[in-house]
Amino acid sequence: MDPTDISILKCLRENSRDSLGKISEELNISKATVSRRLSKMEEEGIISGYSMETNPAKLGLMKALVGLQVTGTAVNNVVEELKKYPEVESVMRTFGDHSLVLNIYTTSVDSLYELIQTHILKIPNINNVEVDIIIDSVTINPNAELDLYQKKMGNLR
């Protein structure tokens, strides 16, 4: 990847719905160049998908991060069990205080408590659960990974 690829990614991160034409105008390169570079980054797995964000509060939901300590080597079994619960958006395997960190959406603190007490704590090999309810999220640098990559490669402008 070179600075032009990074610039294309930054444009898409700002608005993944931007057209190739708009990106090409902003970066002063051809649409064909943008298209070719995007295709290459997709093929190489640098771009793994395009997404949009919703506001959970506007949907009447709350989000929580739930850290799980799993005993032994049962992490994969626990992940399979967690797939049964539609409230669990994603599971991250981690190295640190928790074996797994979950992104969970619920309608209330009570429904979160019930999910944990009646389902998650019943999954074998879960040793401890810690919950953090997300109040707000502030993006400080949406391009942190791209900036660090450029710095690592020595081509930070």
141 falls within a domain? no
143 falls within a domain? no
Tell me the pTM: 0.80
Q: How many domains does the chain have?
A: 2
Going by DSSP bridges, is the β-strand pair 62-70/126-134 parallel, antiparallel, or unpaired? antiparallel
148 falls within a domain? no
87 and 103 belong to one structural domain: yes
Question: pLDDT tens digits for the chain (157 residues)?
Answer: 899 999 999 999 999 899 999 999 999 999 999 999 999 999 999 999 888 888 999 999 999 999 999 998 889 999 999 999 999 999 999 999 999 999 999 999 999 999 999 999 999 999 999 999 999 889 999 999 999 998 888 864 4
- For the stretch 23-55, pLDDT in tens is 999 999 999 999 999 999 999 999 998 888 889
Q: Which residues contact 142 (CB under 8 A, 6 or more apart)?
A: 13, 14
- For the stretch 1-13, pLDDT in tens is 899 999 999 999 9
117 and 60 belong to one structural domain: yes
